[in-house]
C-alpha cells in the first residue's frame, strides 16, 4: 500500500469517552437482546442485533476513524463523516429496535426504581409523543442540518473540539428523530400512514440536494478554514468542496431513495402490510409504567467469585493464601533490608516507593474493584501464627479494650507521624515500622486469644475494614435456608480440620465487610459450601441498621463512627499535607511564631484538622439534626448513623490521592529495584538509568478522573444519607430536614477535595523530567487538550 494511504488509515483516534458510552450501550443491548430472544426469537432475531451493531460501528467509523482526524483538513472527509451520522447510523440503530433490549438490559432495580418513574411519567410520555410526531421530526432534522452547514456555525465547529462534539450530537439526535417515523422501531406505533413517509423523505431529499448543489456550483470556497488548510491530496479547496457536495448529493440521495423505494413496495403489497400489522398486534405494547412488570425477575442469587474458574479454585485452597502471604513476606523483608541498609533518599529506595506508592495505591484500587484482599494476603499473619505457637495465647482481650477506640487512636497517631516525620521520605523509619508490624501481632496474638490484633489494634486492618464497606464483594452466605437448617455452625465454631471465624463473625448474621479479613476460614469450614465471596451493591450495607454479628447495631457504636470519621477526615488531611498552599502556610506560621522546627506547627494543624474540626462539625450537624427532628431521636443515634454514611466520600478521597501517586509513580520502581540489586552486587536487572527512565506522558486526564472519583463518593454518600434519613423519618419532608446538615458537610468535604486536587502537589518519587514532557502542576492541566 502507498505509505501515505497507509498512514492515513492508521490515523484512528480512540476517544475513550465516546467509546465508553457506545460500549455501554452495546453491552446493555446485548444483555437485553439475549433475554428477549429467549422469549421472542422471531421479533428479536440476529438481523436486529446485526443492524444495531452496524449502526454503532458506523458511529465509531464517523467519530474515531481517520475521517475525523482529517475532517479539519478535507471537507470531503468531513462530509462523509456527517453522512454516516445523518444517513447511515440512525436507521440501522432504529432497525435494531433498541428501546426494549436496552431497557431489558438494565439491572432490574435500576429499571424499576431509576428509569421506571421517568418512563411512567405522563408528562414525559406526552413529550415523547410530541417529539416523535413526524412534522416535528422532519423540522428538527432540516433545521439542524441547515444551521450547522451555515459557514458561521461550521467554522465554529472546526475551530473548537467542544462545538464539533455538539455538532455531532445534534446531527445524531436529529437524525434519530428523523428516521424514527420512517423505520418505526418496535414497539412504537405509526402516527401517520406509511405512504406518507414517501413525501416526508422526498422533501428531506430536496433540502439535501439543494445544499449539495450549492456546494458544487458555488464558485468560491464556502468555509474559509479549508481555504487556508494545507492541501493533502493535490485537491484545491474548490475541488475539495465540489467533491464534498458530490458526496452529499449522490450517496446522500441514495440514502433517501432506498427507503422511499421500500416504502413504495410495502404500500403496494397489501399482504406485507397485513403481516406487518399482525406482527405489531402480536407484540405487547410495553407501557412504560409497566416496563418492569413483564420481565421475569433478575438474578436472585448473587454472583460468587469462588465460582469463577481458576480464581475460585485458587481461593478455595488454603495453600494459595499461604503462598500469597509468603510472597508478601518476601517483599516486606526486601523493604526492611533496603530501608535499613540502602540509599536513604525515599524516591531511590524500595522502602520509600513500594509501601508508600505501590502498595497503598494497589490496596485502594483492589478495595474499589473487589474487596479487602490485602488482609487476605497479610504478611503479618505469619507473625501471629508464630506468636500463638511460641507464646501461651490463653488470655482474653481486656473487655475495656473491646472496641475501636484503641485502633482509632493508633490510626490517628500513625497519620500524625506520617505528616510530622515525613515517613514517606524516610526509608529507615519505614523499615522500622514494618519490623514493628511483625512484632506487634507476634506479641498480641501470642498472649491473647482470637484475632485480637486484627480486630482491635491493627490500623491497616481498620482502614481496610472501613473502606471495604463500599467494595463490590462480600464474604457472605449464598442461601439463608441452608443456614437455618444448619446445627453445627462450623463457620464460627470451626471443626476438626478448619478453624472458624477468629473475629467472631457469624455468617448468617454478618452484614457488610466491617471486621472481615477475607481470610475465608468460614468458606473452608462450611460443610455445605454455602459461604462465598458474593457480589453486592457497593455501600448497600451502609443504609440499614440491622443487628450485625460481632458488631451489633452501628447506630449505637460511637467507636465505629469515630473510626469512620477519622478515616474520612484523615483522607482529606493526608492529601492536603502534600500540597503547596499547606506547606506555605506551615512555613508562614513557623516564621511568625519564630520556631526552629516545623514539627509543632504541623502537629497543631494536624490536631486542628483531624480532631477539632471534625468534632465541631459533626457535633454541630448532630445538634442541628436533632433540633430539626424535634428531639425524637437521640443525638448519638443520629450522629452514628450519618457519620458512617460519610465513608464513601472518604474512600473516594483516599482513592483519588493514592491512585494518583500510583499512576504517576508506578514506573519508578524499575530504576529503584535496579539500584537495590546493584547494591547487592546483582547486575542481572541492569544499571539504573535515572535520567532516562521512560517518561510518562502529561496525564491531563488524571484530574478529571480524580474529580469523577470524588463525584462518585459524594453521590454515594448523599444517597446513603438519604436512605438513612428515610429510615429515621417516615415523612419525606422530615427526611430532607435530617439530611440537610449532613449533605452540607458532605458538600463541604467534596469542595475541599476538589480544591486539593487542583493544587500543585509534591511529585514525590517521579524521575520523569524530560524535554517537552515536563511534569506540571495539576491546576494547569486542561481537559480540552484531549480533543
Partner 1 sequence: MPDVEPNAGDATLRTMEKRRAKLIGQYCLYGLLLAPALMALCARARADGGLMLLHQMDGPFVVTVFAAPNPPRVGPIDISVLAQYRADGRAALNAEVIVRLRREGGMTVVGRATREASRTKLLYSALMNLPEAGQWELEVTIEQRESAARALGQMSVAAPRPFLLSYWRSLSLPWVVVTLFAVNQWLKRRAASRARQNT
Site for partner 1 in 6-65 (CB under 8 A): 7-8, 10-11, 13-14, 16, 19-20, 23-24, 26-27, 30-31, 34
What contacts 24+ positions apart, CB below 8 Å, involve 162-167?
162/784, 162/787, 164/71, 164/787, 165/787
Residue the block writes with cell 468460614 = 522
Write down the least CB distance from residue 497 to partner 1, Å: 17
Of the two residues 7 and 683, which places its CB atom closer to partner 1 in the complex?
A: 7
Applying CB under 8 A, which of residues 130, 193, 228, 496 lies at the interface with partner 1? 228
Neighbours of 747 (CB within 10 A): 14
Q: Check binding of 493 to partner 1 (CB under 8 A).
A: no
* Residues in region 517-556 near partner 1 by CB under 8 A: 527-528
* Residues in region 639-678 near partner 1 by CB under 8 A: 663
Write down the least CB distance from residue 499 to partner 1, Å: 22
Q: How many residues bind partner 1 (CB under 8 A)?
A: 81
Write down the least CB distance from residue 363 to partner 1, Å: 17
Write down the least CB distance from residue 288 to partner 1, Å: 11
Write down the least CB distance from residue 419 to partner 1, Å: 26
Of the two residues 590 and 667, which places its CB atom closer to partner 1 in the complex?
A: 667
Give buried/exposed letters for 627-664 (b at 16+ CB in 10 A, else e): ebbeeebeeebbbbbbbbbbbbbbbbbbbbbbbbbbbb
Write down the least CB distance from residue 741 to partner 1, Å: 16
Contact indicator for 738, 725 with CB cutoff of 8 Å: yes
Contact indicator for 448, 504 with CB cutoff of 8 Å: no
- Grid coordinates given for 476: 457472605
Of the two residues 591 and 779, which places its CB atom closer to partner 1 in the complex?
A: 779
In order of 667, 689, 698, the CA distances from 773 in angstroms are 16, 18, 6
Contact indicator for 765, 687 with CB cutoff of 8 Å: no
In order of 72, 78, 158, 504, the CA distances from 239 in angstroms are 16, 14, 19, 80
Of the two residues 562 and 568, which places its CB atom closer to partner 1 in the complex?
A: 568
Of the two residues 325 and 717, which places its CB atom closer to partner 1 in the complex?
A: 717
Q: Check binding of 401 to partner 1 (CB under 8 A).
A: no
Q: Check binding of 3 to partner 1 (CB under 8 A).
A: yes
Dist. CA 78–CA 70, nearest whole Å:
7
Within its chain, how far is the Cα of 567 from the centroid? 21
* Residues in region 412-471 near partner 1 by CB under 8 A: none
Of the two residues 409 and 736, which places its CB atom closer to partner 1 in the complex?
A: 736
Hey, which residues does 761 pair with through a beta bridge? 579
Q: Check binding of 362 to partner 1 (CB under 8 A).
A: no
Q: Which one of 206-214, 385-393, 465-473, 707-715 is the stretch in contact with partner 1 (CB under 8 A)?
A: 707-715
Write down the least CB distance from residue 706 to partner 1, Å: 9
User: What angle, 0 to 180 degrees and rounded to 10, lies between the N-to-C axes of helices 405-420 and 459-467?
Assistant: 100
Q: Check binding of 718 to partner 1 (CB under 8 A).
A: yes
Contact indicator for 343, 349 with CB cutoff of 8 Å: yes
Kindly tell me the sign of the dihedral angle through the C-alpha atoms of 51, 57, 63, 67.
Answer: negative
Of the two residues 482 and 685, which places its CB atom closer to partner 1 in the complex?
A: 482
* Residues in region 373-392 near partner 1 by CB under 8 A: none
* Residues in region 85-124 near partner 1 by CB under 8 A: 113-114, 117-118, 120-121
* Residues in region 238-297 near partner 1 by CB under 8 A: 289
Kindly tell me the sign of the dihedral angle through the C-alpha atoms of 17, 18, 21, 22.
Answer: negative
Q: Check binding of 126 to partner 1 (CB under 8 A).
A: no
Q: Check binding of 221 to partner 1 (CB under 8 A).
A: no
Of the two residues 685 and 699, which places its CB atom closer to partner 1 in the complex?
A: 699
- Give the CB-side neighbour count of residue 441, counting CA atoms within 13 A: 23
Write down the least CB distance from residue 294 to partner 1, Å: 18
Continuous H helices in 40-88: 46-64, 66-69, 75-83
Amino acid at each position: 500500500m502507498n505509505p501515505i494511504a497507509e498512514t492515513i488509515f492508521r490515523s484512528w483516534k480512540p476517544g475513550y469517552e465516546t467509546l465508553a458510552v457506545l460500549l455501554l450501550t452495546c453491552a446493555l443491548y446485548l444483555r437485553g437482546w439475549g433475554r428477549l430472544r429467549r422469549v421472542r426469537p422471531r421479533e428479536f432475531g440476529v438481523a436486529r442485533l446485526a443492524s444495531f451493531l452496524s449502526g454503532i460501528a458506523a458511529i465509531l467509523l464517523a467519530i474515531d476513524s481517520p475521517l475525523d482526524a482529517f475532517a479539519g483538513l478535507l471537507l470531503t472527509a468531513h462530509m462523509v463523516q456527517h453522512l454516516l451520522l445523518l444517513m447511515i447510523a440512525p436507521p440501522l440503530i432504529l432497525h435494531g429496535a433498541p428501546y426494549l433490549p436496552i431497557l431489558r438490559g438494565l439491572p432490574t432495580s435500576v429499571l424499576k426504581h431509576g428509569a421506571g418513574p421517568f418512563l411512567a411519567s405522563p408528562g414525559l410520555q406526552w413529550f415523547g409523543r410530541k417529539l416523535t410526531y413526524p412534522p416535528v421530526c422532519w423540522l428538527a432534522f432540516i433545521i439542524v442540518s441547515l444551521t450547522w452547514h451555515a459557514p458561521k456555525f461550521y467554522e465554529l465547529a472546526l475551530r473548537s473540539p467542544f462545538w464539533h462534539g455538539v455538532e455531532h450530537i445534534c446531527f445524531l439526535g436529529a437524525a434519530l428523530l428523523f428516521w424514527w417515523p420512517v423505520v418505526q422501531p418496535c414497539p412504537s406505533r405509526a402516527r401517520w400512514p406509511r405512504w406518507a413517509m414517501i413525501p416526508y423523505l422526498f422533501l428531506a431529499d430536496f433540502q439535501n440536494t439543494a445544499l449539495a448543489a450549492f456546494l458544487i456550483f458555488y464558485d468560491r470556497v464556502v468555509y474559509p478554514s479549508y481555504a487556508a488548510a494545507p492541501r493533502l491530496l493535490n485537491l484545491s479547496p474548490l475541488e475539495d468542496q465540489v467533491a464534498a457536495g458530490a458526496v452529499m448529493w449522490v450517496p446522500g440521495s441514495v440514502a433517501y431513495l432506498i427507503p422511499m423505494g421500500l416504502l413504495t413496495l410495502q404500500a403496494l403489497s397489501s399482504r406485507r402490510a397485513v403481516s406487518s400489522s399482525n406482527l405489531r398486534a402480536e407484540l405487547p405494547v410495553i407501557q412504560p409504567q409497566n416496563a418492569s412488570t413483564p420481565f421475569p425477575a433478575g438474578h436472585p442469587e448473587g454472583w460468587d467469585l469462588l465460582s469463577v474458574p481458576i480464581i475460585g479454585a485458587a481461593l478455595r485452597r488454603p495453600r494459595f493464601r499461604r503462598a500469597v502471604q509468603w510472597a508478601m513476606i518476601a517483599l516486606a523483608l526486601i523493604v526492611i533490608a533496603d530501608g535499613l541498609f540502602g540509599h536513604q533518599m525515599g524516591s531511590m529506595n524500595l522502602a520509600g516507593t513500594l509501601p508508600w506508592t505501590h502498595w497503598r495505591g494497589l490496596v485502594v484500587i483492589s478495595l474499589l474493584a473487589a474487596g479487602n484482599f490485602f488482609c487476605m494476603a497479610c504478611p503479618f499473619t505469619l507473625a501471629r501464627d508464630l506468636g500463638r505457637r511460641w507464646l501461651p495465647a490463653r488470655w482474653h482481650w481486656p473487655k475495656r479494650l473491646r472496641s475501636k477506640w484503641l485502633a482509632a487512636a493508633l490510626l490517628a497517631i500513625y497519620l500524625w507521624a506520617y505528616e510530622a516525620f515525613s515517613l514517606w521520605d524516610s526509608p529507615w523509619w519505614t523499615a522500622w515500622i514494618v519490623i514493628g508490624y511483625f512484632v506487634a501481632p507476634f506479641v498480641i496474638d501470642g498472649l491473647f486469644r482470637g484475632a485480637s490484633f486484627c480486630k482491635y489494634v491493627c490500623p491497616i486492618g481498620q482502614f481496610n475494614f472501613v473502606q471495604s464497606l463500599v467494595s463490590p464483594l462480600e464474604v457472605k452466605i449464598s442461601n439463608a435456608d441452608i443456614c437455618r437448617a444448619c446445627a453445627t455452625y462450623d463457620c464460627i465454631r470451626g471443626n476438626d480440620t478448619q478453624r472458624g471465624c477468629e473475629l467472631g463473625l457469624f455468617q448468617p448474621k454478618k452484614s457488610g465487610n466491617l471486621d472481615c479479613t477475607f481470610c475465608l476460614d468460614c468458606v473452608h469450614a462450611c460443610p455445605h459450601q454455602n459461604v462465598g465471596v458474593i457480589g453486592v451493591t457497593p455501600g448497600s450495607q451502609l443504609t440499614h441498621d440491622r443487628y450485625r454479628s460481632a458488631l451489633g447495631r452501628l447506630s449505637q457504636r460511637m467507636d465505629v463512627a469515630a473510626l469512620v470519621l477519622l478515616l474520612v477526615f484523615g483522607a482529606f488531611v493526608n492529601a492536603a499535607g502534600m500540597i503547596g498552599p499547606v506547606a506555605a502556610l506551615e512555613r508562614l506560621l513557623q516564621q511568625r511564631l519564630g520556631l526552629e522546627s516545623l514539627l509543632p506547627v504541623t502537629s497543631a494543624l494536624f490536631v486542628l484538622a483531624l480532631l477539632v474540626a471534625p468534632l465541631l462539625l459533626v457535633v454541630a450537624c448532630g445538634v442541628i439534626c436533632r433540633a430539626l427532628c424535634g428531639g425524637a431521636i437521640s443525638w448519638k443515634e443520629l450522629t452514628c448513623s450519618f457519620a458512617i454514611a460519610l465513608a464513601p466520600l472518604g474512600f473516594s478521597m483516599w482513592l483519588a490521592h493514592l491512585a494518583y501517586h500510583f499512576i504517576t509513580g508506578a514506573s519508578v520502581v524499575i530504576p529503584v529495584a535496579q539500584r537495590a540489586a546493584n547494591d547487592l552486587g546483582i547486575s542481572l536487572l541492569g544499571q539504573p538509568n535515572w535520567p532516562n527512565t521512560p517518561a510518562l506522558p502529561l496525564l491531563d486526564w488524571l484530574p478529571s478522573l480524580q474529580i469523577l472519583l470524588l463525584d462518585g463518593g459524594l453521590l454515594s454518600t448523599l444517597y446513603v444519607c438519604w436512605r438513612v434519613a428515610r429510615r429515621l423519618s417516615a415523612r419525606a419532608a422530615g427526611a430532607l430536614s435530617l439530611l440537610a446538615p449532613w449533605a452540607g458537610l458532605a458538600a463541604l468535604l467534596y469542595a475541599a477535595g476538589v480544591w486539593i486536587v487542583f493544587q500543585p502537589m509534591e511529585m514525590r518519587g517521579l524521575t520523569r523530567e524530560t524535554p517537552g514532557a515536563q511534569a506540571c502542576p495539576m491546576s494547569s492541566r486542561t481537559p480540552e487538550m484531549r480533543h
